[in-house]
A and B are shown apart, each in its own frame.
Chain A
Amino acid sequence: MSVRELEDVWRRESPHVLGALLRRHGDLADCEDAAQEALEAAARQWQELPGNPRGWLITVASRRLIDRARADAARAGRELAVASEEPSPVPPERDDSLELLLLCCHPALSRPSQVALTLRAVSGLSTAEIAAAFLVPEATMGQRLSRARATLREAGVRFERPEPDDLPARVAAVLDVLHLVFNEGYTRSAGRALLDGELTREAIRLTRELERALPDHDEVAGALALMLLTQAREPARTDARGDLVPLARQDRSRWRRDEIAQGVAILERVLPRGPVGRFQLQAAIAAVHAEAPDAAGTDWAQIRTLYDMLERVAPGPAVTLNRAVAVAMESGPAAGLTIVGGLLEDPRLARHHRTHAVRAHLLELAGDHAGAADAFARAAGLTASLPEQRYLNRCAAEARR
């Protein structure tokens, strides 16, 4: 069996193997170690794929867990309750991936820990792969993972489905984590790192699985639609030189129509069903852009309405800023500039590059080229993104001409 084939089996089976172990033995760190040992045994022993790879992995990993518990008990000089508990050779067919996602995105963990643990335990990525994806040293990522597992242990978190009342908030945290993983990959595709496609694909794969587990959860469907509609723009978001092309200037003939169609179909199914959350609204906005022939031909009135709704559901400066653009495109730059002016009174937003970048675009629209050049230059100085900085510096130079 090739390494690649084994990797595929592992990525598919690891959440189920871990889930089965966790149901019997609650400690995530122990279960991950045992699952890892089972994978190593498979790499040594499998000439070809066994009939039931999941059952094989679970059985071997369970034995490792019991061996270890015995050794620990012997060291402590204690009787061992689990000694008689032989692993069942054929595991019950049950999908544990939702419980595993919920465990990895537990509210006791910080957001970066939730992200790291999800990619490790649910996606089956190695610590080195996750570290490379987030551009940090492997030792640092190892620390984050160990700390996350220790936090779960200290908090006494159990592997079980939360109470129905708690489920919406817990699923919301999972969606935030998956969306973060997606964005990390998507925003990086303007750069040079190689693993980005992997992150966006993995986020979409996990969101699809979540949707299968919770088909009536409209925000899960909304998040999936948003990812697909965003991912569709990927071929157009850099130019031949590799520089970033903003949405308004993208060559829309390069957008991937199949992903747009999938995203739109999901939205058409869930939007009429009732109260819409922030992912559905963001996806709806992306769909309006996707259906427009170009920036000028966009239905800005509809986008403005959607941002008005989004601002009620999930208020925040980024939403207000986007609403300012929609207002400006619909009713003229002055109205948009008034909104941006209000945001600039907050010192934190005044130090954020997007506030100035949006102001610059609106000033340019209003014909104030000198003001636009200054605002573009201010935005360029504030951004920490290399491609955005190159783009904004270019805009400043063009506005000065």
Chain B
Amino acid sequence: MKYVILIHSNPRPWGHPTADYVPEFQSLPQERKDAMLADFERRLKELSERGELLGGEALGDAANARLYRWTDDAPLATDGPYSEAKEHLAGFFLIDVESQERAEEIAGQFASPGDTVELRATMWPGGDDQ
């Protein structure tokens, strides 16, 4: 079962890893920050070794996004960001796991102060006839 883990964040200025630019994370004691970053790297490596991590990308500044809306029977381009919300999509991971429980366990491990982690199932082309 495949899921995407979406990382919503508000890094100021925009940068990666987002934790380096998020005040809620930066205000933590250095030791804690180091431990959390090391944990994150270790988990990512472990996911990859287990064959659960299919891929992922860090995204560019949401302010520099280009938006295309259908207007007057044609696409009209404007500048981003897409949403007025404080947080924006900053990156994503694609995972393939045995169960919803495992997906939830992994998504929880991606949580970080100041960020919101969103777990979404991906649709697949098959189906049961029962």
Contact A136 B129 (CB under 8 A): no
A140 touching B124 in the complex, CB below 8 Å, given contacts A233-B129, A244-B129, A246-B130? no
A387 touching B98 in the complex, CB below 8 Å, given contacts A141-B51, A143-B48? no
The main secondary structure of chain B at its interface with chain A is loop
* Cα(A156)–Cα(B50), bound, Å: 19
Residues of A within 8 A of B54 (CB): 136-137, 140
Contact A110 B125 (CB under 8 A): no
CB distance from B130 to the nearest CB of A (A): 6
A246 touching B98 in the complex, CB below 8 Å, given contacts A140-B53, A385-B124? no
Chain A 310-340 residues near chain B, CB threshold 8 A: 322
Mask, B112-130, CB within 8 Å of A = 1, is: 0000000001111111111
Is residue A197 contacting chain B, with contact meaning CB distance below 8 A?
Answer: no
Contact B51 A187 (CB under 8 A): no
Which of A43-51, A94-102, A188-196, A214-222 forms part of the interface with chain B? A188-196
Is residue B1 contacting chain A, with contact meaning CB distance below 8 A?
Answer: yes
A144 touching B127 in the complex, CB below 8 Å, given contacts A110-B98, A111-B98, A384-B122? no
* Cα(A387)–Cα(B126), bound, Å: 7
Which one of B2, B121, B123 has the highest number of Cβ atoms from chain A below 10 Å of its Cβ?
B123
Is residue B49 contacting chain A, with contact meaning CB distance below 8 A?
Answer: yes
Residues of A within 8 A of B124 (CB): 135, 188, 191, 384-386
Residues of B within 8 A of A388 (CB): 127-128
Is residue A26 contacting chain B, with contact meaning CB distance below 8 A?
Answer: no
- Pick the contact of A247 from B48, B51, B52, B130 — CB < 8 Å? B130
Residues of A within 8 A of B48 (CB): 143
**Residue on B nearest A249 in the bound complex, by CB:** B129
Chain A 246-301 residues near chain B, CB threshold 8 A: 246-247, 250
Residues of B within 8 A of A244 (CB): 127, 129
Residues of A within 8 A of B49 (CB): 143, 147
Residues of A within 8 A of B108 (CB): none
Which one of A384, A386, A387 has the highest number of Cβ atoms from chain B below 10 Å of its Cβ?
A384
CB distance from B54 to the nearest CB of A (A): 5
Residues of B within 8 A of A322 (CB): 130
**Residue on A nearest B101 in the bound complex, by CB:** A348
* Cα(A116)–Cα(B51), bound, Å: 11
Is residue B55 contacting chain A, with contact meaning CB distance below 8 A?
Answer: yes
* Cα(A395)–Cα(B66), bound, Å: 38
Contact B123 A389 (CB under 8 A): yes
Residues of A within 8 A of B127 (CB): 187, 190-191, 244, 385-388, 391
CB distance from B119 to the nearest CB of A (A): 12
Contact B123 A385 (CB under 8 A): yes
CB distance from A24 to the nearest CB of B (A): 29
* Cα(A389)–Cα(B53), bound, Å: 26
Is residue A245 contacting chain B, with contact meaning CB distance below 8 A?
Answer: yes
Mask, B41-81, CB within 8 Å of A = 1, is: 00000001111111100000000000000000000000000
* Cα(A247)–Cα(B128), bound, Å: 9
A188 touching B122 in the complex, CB below 8 Å, given contacts A140-B51, A147-B50? no
* Cα(A145)–Cα(B50), bound, Å: 9
Contact B1 A384 (CB under 8 A): yes
Is residue B20 contacting chain A, with contact meaning CB distance below 8 A?
Answer: no
Is residue A356 contacting chain B, with contact meaning CB distance below 8 A?
Answer: no
**Residue on B nearest A193 in the bound complex, by CB:** B125
Chain B 85-130 residues near chain A, CB threshold 8 A: 96, 98, 121-130
**Residue on B nearest A382 in the bound complex, by CB:** B121
Known: A137-B55, A384-B1. 6 other contacts (CB 8 A): A110-B98, A140-B51, A143-B48, A191-B126, A196-B126, A386-B127
Which 8 pairs show the lowest CB-CB distances between chains A and B?
A: A191-B125, A144-B51, A188-B126, A387-B127, A385-B127, A143-B51, A187-B126, A388-B127
